[in-house]
Structure formats: C-alpha cells, structure tokens
Homo-oligomer: A and B are copies of this chain.
C-alpha cells in the first residue's frame, strides 16, 4: 500500500499548496484592495483640501492668493498622480490577484478528480483482497478483479502524473505572478512617490518665493483706504466730508482746542492717534501726573 500512501501524502502536499495559495492570495487581494481604498480616501480628503485652499486664496491679497492657488494646483496634481496610482493598483495588482480565484478553483477540481480515481484504485485493491480470501481458487473472477486493479492503478498513476504537472505549472505560475504583482506594486508606488517629490519640490520653492512684505503692504493699503487716517483723506464715496465729526467741527472742536491748548491745536483732533488719555492729561497738568507717578 506504500504507493497509495505515498500518493496520499502527495495529494495532501498538492492540496496544501493550493490551499495556502488560496488563503494567502485571498488575504493579499482583500488587504491590497483595502490599501487601495484607503489611498482613494486620502485622495478624496486632499481634493477637499484643494477646494478649501482655492476658497481661502480668493479671500487673500494677490501675493498670498497666488501662493495658495499654486499650492492648491500642486496638491491637485499630486492627487492626479494618486488617482493614477489607485487605477494602476486595481489593474495590475488587485485584478491579477482576483483571477487566482478561478485558477485555484480549477486546480482544486483536478485534485478532486485525482482523489476520486485514487479511491477507485483502493476500492479495487480491497475487492481483490476480499475475493482472494473468499474464493482463492476462482481464477476467472480473480483474474478479472486483477485486471480491474491494474486498470485502476494505471488510471491513478496517470491522473496523479497529470496532477503533478498541473501543480508544477500552478506553482511556477504562482511564483512568477507573485514576483510580477509585487514588482508592479512597488513600481506603481515608487512612480507615485517620485512624482509627489517632484511636485512638492516645486511647491516648496513657490512657498519660499512668497513675499510677505508685499502682501502686508497691500493689506495696509486696504486698511488705510478704509481708515483714511494716514493722509486724512476722505473715504471713497463720501463726498468731501471733513475728517472730524460734523458736530465737533461746528462747535465742539473749539471747546476741545480751548481745553487741549497748544498740544492739540497742532493736529487734527478727531484724527488724533498719538494722543491717548494719559498724554492728554499729562499735557494739561504735567506736574500732577509726575508727582502722582
């Protein structure tokens, strides 16, 4: 029975090879699909960030606006590369792994067939054994049973041999595909990361070139336009309104002048900005403040 036993372990090793492949390819497939999905989620989030940066850019002055827009464009380009990464992972990594389902099913069917043929051999051997013990002298029946054993044995050998070839081809293809799939995975990732480095290097330079002072000048100019204080010029669309409230200009101003004396008289009181209360009091009664201080 050692051939039968040997064939038994043989089939078991084959089954094991296919089962391991099925298990690991299946797990790899679902993990790599999940990895790809997470990459797609990251791309989505970065796309939101791009839109947010464009919105933000539109509320800023030209310098920062251009910088933020450029940053948004670069970030969008990286997401385009990430999208290409996702598509390539699906096509060159996940799809080939999925195909293994069919391939494994087919190999499993061949193993099953081999087991069936092998079981028939055992059955024929057992039948012959029984006949030999029951009717050892019945040559025609024994001879027929021996022929059946022979046929079953040849059948089993042939099927096992075919299976060996199938498993050999399966294993060879599996190893080749593993190498190919992971080489593709690594290449896809590498290309994406290299593109990202390229884009971000240029983004970094854009950010370095950002002119803060120019932007601040724009901001201050806008504020001055609204304040109207640096050159005491009236607000746009306000027809020749004086820089002081009309009530003060009419009567209160004289009162103020009479109280603030020469310290105030040199400047436009309503637009006064260098004269806080302390200064005002100090000008009015310097000795008191100093004594009290």
Contacts and interface: CB of A to CB of B under 8 A. Distances in A.
Say how many copies of this protein the assembly contains.
2
Interface residues of A, number: 114
A12 to B, nearest CB: 8
Contacts of A245: 1-4, 125, 153
Interface in A23-68: 24, 27-28, 31-32, 34-35, 38-39, 41-42, 45-46, 48-49, 52-53, 55-56, 59, 64, 67-68
Interface string A137-173: 0000001001101110111011001001001100110
Nearest to A167: B223
A183 to B, nearest CB: 5
A158 B276 contact: yes
Judged by DSSP, the binding face of A is helix
13 contacts: A3-B270, A9-B226, A28-B52, A31-B48, A32-B49, A35-B46, A38-B45, A67-B179, A129-B247, A158-B276, A171-B216, A179-B212, A194-B197
Interface of A: 1-6, 9-10, 13, 20, 24, 27-28, 31-32, 34-35, 38-39, 41-42, 45-46, 48-49, 52-53, 55-56, 59, 64, 67-68, 71, 78, 125, 128-129, 132, 143, 146-147, 149-151, 153-155, 157-158, 161, 164, 167-168, 171-172, 175-176, 178-179, 182-183, 186-187, 189-190, 193-194, 196-197, 200-201, 203-204, 207-208, 210, 212, 215-216, 219-220, 222-223, 226-229, 234-235, 238, 241-248, 251-252, 255-256, 259-260, 269-273, 275-277, 280
